[in-house]
A = this chain, B = another copy of it.
Amino acid sequence: MTSPALQTALAYHRAWTGKDLDTAVAYLADDVVCDAPAGRLEGVAAYREFLAPFAERFLIRAEMIAAFGDDTTALLMYDAETVPAESAPAAECVTVRDGRIVYNRFVFDRTPFDEFRRRQAPVRP
């Protein structure tokens, strides 16, 4: 494996899908930007807040489908077995600078997660 960006992306991914958010966020630049389905996240604190419920409440296990990279970019697709959906695949395209992820385009289907949250929400009287 000769892509330094892919090495960083895989280490980050292994950590967060292993529910080790401290290690995962250590691979993120402080001013990381993530374009996620619900909008843009700026900074490592916002990123962690986005990842935490997924990693801690929803994810059962992740399995890599494909992973490629070059000097600065890595592209991952993986399937995720989650509480809301047996299969909730996602793709992340990260830009890496000096061993840290500075940008991520994060693609997944929000539908099963939103439906799950609606089902969990208390019914208003």
Smallest CB-CB separation from A91: which chain B residue? B91
Given A37-B109, A108-B109, A109-B37, A77-B93 contact (CB < 8 Å): yes
Q: Which of A35, A90, A107, A111 has the most CB of B within 10 A?
A: A107
Interface residue tally for chain A (C-beta within 8 Å): 23
Cβ proximity bits A65-93 to B, threshold 8 Å, 1 near / 0 not: 11011100101010100000001011101
Q: Could you tell me the distance between the alpha carbons of A105 and B109 in the complex, rounded to whole angstroms?
A: 13
Smallest CB-CB separation from A109: which chain B residue? B37
How far does the Cβ of A121 sit from chain B's closest Cβ, in whole Å?
17
A107 near B107 with CB under 8 A, answer yes
How far does the Cβ of A5 sit from chain B's closest Cβ, in whole Å?
10
The 4 lowest CB-CB distance pairs between A and B, nearest first, are A68-B68, A91-B91, A37-B109, A66-B75
